[in-house]
A and B are shown apart, each in its own frame.
Chain A
Amino acid sequence: MLVLVMRFLVGAVFIYSGWEKLMSPLPNFMAVLEGYQILKSSLIQPVAFIFPWLELVFGTFLALGFLSRASASVLAVFLATFIVLLSRSLLLHLPLLECGCFGSGISLTPAQAIILDAGLLVTSFIIMARKSHVLSVDQVLHK
């Protein structure tokens, strides 16, 4: 049951994050990516366009328990990437007032976002370690 709650939790965070970005004009997320000063300018627009969709889709997959382990693995890769990017921004003293993780919804500083992402990453590993998931689409499809 605890893993079910974890699945909903990680899934919900990504659904919210993707949704907020998709509801906001593209230049807002492009500006967030520009702030991290890591992507080539030619990549910023395509990444800003695609990434929120990936968050929404895999967040929904995980919450519904569809391809649970694979979805948790994808989201774990995202979380590990966020942690690296946020740590880099702190080390380089980049002028980021907030992480830009949730669009206009929730404002977190890079340090707060690292703590959240680390917690979600551990949770994702626990989900990945489980072979079967209760109340999941996977369970229904395997019947």
Chain B
Amino acid sequence: MNIRRRYFLTGSGIIVALVLLVFSVRFGRDVGAFSNLENAKVKGPHGAPVQVVVYSDFQCPACKNALPVLQELENEFSETMQIEFRHYPLERPHRWAMTAATFAECAAEQGKFWEYHDRLYLDQATWSNTDDAISLFARYSHELGLDKEKIQKCLENPETLQRIRRERSTGVWQKVESTPTIFINGQLIVGGLQLKTKGREIVLEELKKLGKV
């Protein structure tokens, strides 16, 4: 056999083996699997046909930038879409991300998660660049009328932190690598740009599949 033919056959063999290996490992990995977590932070109609799960970090500027796009979708599909927030704090680059998530989780216990969520994103630039974000977080709690004692108790409760870490672990399992990562009925979208270009299209497709449009 001449050398060229040997090379061609060997190269083809290696490539085919790699393709088979990749597809055999990937097969069956359903990253979009939807699982309801305890204390889910949701808004929108219960049992809505379109379920949107947003993995987000309060200190991430890209998450803040994606909010208006998500808001547009929420306004357009207010009757058919439910949004769930899941914590995915990136602790290494974002110093206050975990603390912000903890305060938000405690606000959720008093039924004011979304108000606190909006406030954190609104003032993101302020608290992100301060050495004492905790006093700002406490001030937001006060301004939103949250019970100070309950907040303190919640912040000291190790279960609060564990809940946040569990949510993040669910994200890791679902192959979330950066924030914001959004699942629309299990279909993964990463970042505001993809949400803007594909979000509406996916929602409409999902509604069409379910015969809701």
A residues touching B (Cβ–Cβ < 8 Å)? 19, 22-25, 27-28, 30-32, 34, 41, 56-57, 60-61, 64, 66-67, 95, 97-98, 103-104, 107, 137, 141-142
Contact = CB atoms under 8 A, between A and B. Distances in A.
A25 B177 CA distance: 10
Given A97-B93, A107-B92, A141-B7, A25 B31 contact: yes
A31 B195 CA distance: 11
Contact of B18 (A57, A137, A142): A57
Given A23-B25, A137-B10, A28 B93 contact: no
B191 interface: yes
B175 interface: yes
Contact of B175 (A24, A64, A142): A24
Interface class of chain A by DSSP: helix
Contact of A31 (B3, B11, B191): B191
B62 A95 contact: yes
Interface string B158-192: 00000000000000100101100100000011110
Given A60-B18, A95-B62, A103-B177, A27 B10 contact: no
Interface class of chain B by DSSP: helix
Given A27-B194, A28-B177, A28-B188, 15 more contacts: A22-B22, A27-B188, A27-B190, A30-B190, A31-B193, A31-B194, A32-B178, A56-B18, A56-B22, A57-B14, A57-B18, A60-B14, A64-B14, A97-B93, A141-B7
B26 A31 contact: no
A19 B18 CA distance: 10
B208 interface: no
B6 A141 contact: yes
B191 A34 contact: yes
A141 B136 CA distance: 69
Contacts of A64: 14
A24 B18 contact: no
Contacts of B6: 141
A57 B12 CA distance: 11
A108 to B, nearest CB: 11
A27 B175 CA distance: 11
Interface in B1-46: 3, 6-7, 10-11, 14-15, 18, 22, 25-26, 29, 31
A25 B22 contact: no
A66 B178 contact: no
Contact of A66 (B14, B93, B197): B14
A120 to B, nearest CB: 21
B108 interface: no
A25 B194 contact: no
